[in-house]
């Protein structure tokens, strides 16, 4: 997920013309032989003019990953990609798609995770990720809580309230460093 965040950060801030992917989802991320993630399928991507922070479109992306402003008003911005990234982060660590059958009425992937923070992480995270017991489980739950909190920061309803991709990368690297340090003790 750091690779994907790095790709988005580059697309959004790496040149004077930001690129908004507009359809970020797991099937648009490819892994190479070294398990390095690459963002693909730029079919509906938008180039933003210099100084432009948002634009409108009638082309809709994949349901479940759309930011609220994109789905309801067709507003495209880098913050929409941040929202999609947050949903993808949730999906990877829960093993639940945002359009899973369990998400009906008021329950969505986002609200399900939000209700689990910070004390019920085990109920939402993919059980395949937790194959240890004892003292190590507390470390894992702490880090998973941090990841889900980061995902929630990406998925704020208001685009202005969402974190930016540079801060996402910094947070993920910090979590990764803490996990690696905990595993060496």
Task: Supply the residues annotated as catalytic.
Answer: 23
Q: How far is 14 from 95, CA to CA, in rounded Å? A: 31
DSSP letter at 157 equals S
ω into 118 cis (within 30 of 0): yes
Residues 6+ apart with CB under 8 A from 62: 23, 25
Q: How far is 62 from 155, CA to CA, in rounded Å? A: 16
Residue 154, Cβ neighbours under 10 Å: how many?
26
Minimal CA–CA distance to 78: which of 170, 3, 171, 162?
Answer: 162
């Amino acid at each position: 997920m750091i690779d994907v965040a790095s790709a988005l950060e580059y697309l959004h801030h790496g040149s004077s013309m930001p690129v908004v992917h507009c359809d970020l989802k797991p099937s648009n991320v490819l892994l190479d032989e070294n398990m390095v993630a690459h963002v693909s399928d730029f079919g509906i991507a938008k180039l933003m003019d210099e100084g432009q922070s948002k634009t409108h479109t009638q082309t809709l992306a994949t349901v479940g990953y759309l930011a609220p402003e994109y789905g309801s008003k067709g507003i495209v911005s880098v913050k929409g990609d941040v929202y999609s990234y947050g949903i993808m982060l949730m999906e990877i660590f829960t093993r639940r798609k945002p359009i899973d059958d369990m998400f009906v009425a008021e329950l969505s992937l986002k609200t399900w995770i939000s209700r689990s923070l910070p004390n019920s992480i085990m109920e939402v995270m993919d059980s395949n990720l937790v194959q240890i017991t004892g003292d190590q489980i507390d470390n894992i739950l702490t880090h998973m809580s941090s990841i889900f909190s980061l995902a929630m920061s990406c998925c704020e309803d208001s685009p202005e309230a969402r974190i930016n991709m540079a801060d996402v990368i910094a947070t993920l690297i910090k979590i990764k460093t803490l996990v690696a340090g905990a595993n060496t003790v």
